[in-house]
């Protein structure tokens, strides 16, 4: 995009994940994590390029899942598995965007994607990641949707 008055230009990159049903979840987090990896590799989520705009039809279900999974994986990468509290992170995100993660299935998928993402992106955290996430922070069903 080029602003003729100021001479300023910006590159806009759009990603479109087309296989996620509204209100549902993908059958597996694998394709979603590959999508997230492509978005990350593009640099679109880097802090030096400005904020990313993530949106779905309502702006809270699929986009909330994307933001929660990415945020948790970034925290795991920077600070380690023990520092991520999925429930607390979601509650903090909901202060800025009420209703993020609309359904229990979306929350369950978020947990699955975070676990799978930590195993794929950070294999050294793989010792017993499933048990660590659920024992440290409780099961996702304990959280109100």
Q: pLDDT digits over 58-70, tens only?
A: 878 899 999 999 9
Q: Report if pTM > 0.85.
A: no
**pLDDT, tens digit (0-9, with 9 covering 90-100), for 66-104:** 999 999 999 998 988 888 999 999 999 999 999 999 899
139 has pLDDT over 80? no
Show the domains of the chain with their CATH numbers.
29-142 (3.90.190.10)
Could you identify the residue written with the tokens 């880097």?
46
Contact call for residues 89 and 68 (beta carbons, < 8 A): yes
Which residue matches tokens 């705009």? 53
Distance CA 81, CA 70 (A): 14
Q: Enter the tokens of residue 72.
A: 């948790």
Catalytic residues: 56
Percent of the chain with pLDDT over 90: 44
Give me the phi and psi of 2, to 5 degrees please: -125, 125
What does the mean pLDDT of the chain come to?
84
Locus of tokens 């640099």: 43
Handedness of CA 143, 90, 53, 108 (dihedral sign): negative
Establish how many alpha carbons lie within 13 A of residue 139's alpha carbon, considering only the half-sphere containing its beta carbon: 3
SS3 at position 60:
coil
Q: Which residue has tokens 């209703």?
A: 99
CB 64 within 8 A of CB 97: yes
């Amino acid at each position: 995009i080029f602003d003729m008055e100021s001479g300023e230009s910006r590159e806009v990159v759009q990603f479109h994940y087309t296989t996620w049903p509204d209100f549902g979840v993908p059958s597996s987090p694998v394709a979603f994590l590959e999508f997230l990896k492509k978005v990350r590799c593009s640099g679109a989520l880097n802090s030096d390029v400005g904020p990313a705009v993530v949106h779905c039809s309502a702006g809270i279900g699929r986009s909330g899942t994307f933001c929660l999974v990415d945020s948790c994986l970034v925290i795991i990468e920077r600070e380690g598995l023990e520092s991520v509290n999925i429930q607390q992170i979601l509650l903090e995100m909901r202060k800025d965007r009420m209703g993020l993660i609309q359904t229990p299935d979306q929350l369950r998928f978020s947990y699955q994607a975070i676990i799978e993402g930590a195993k794929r992106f950070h294999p050294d955290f793989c010792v017993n990641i499933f048990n660590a996430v659920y024992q440290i922070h409780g099961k996702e069903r304990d959280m109100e949707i």
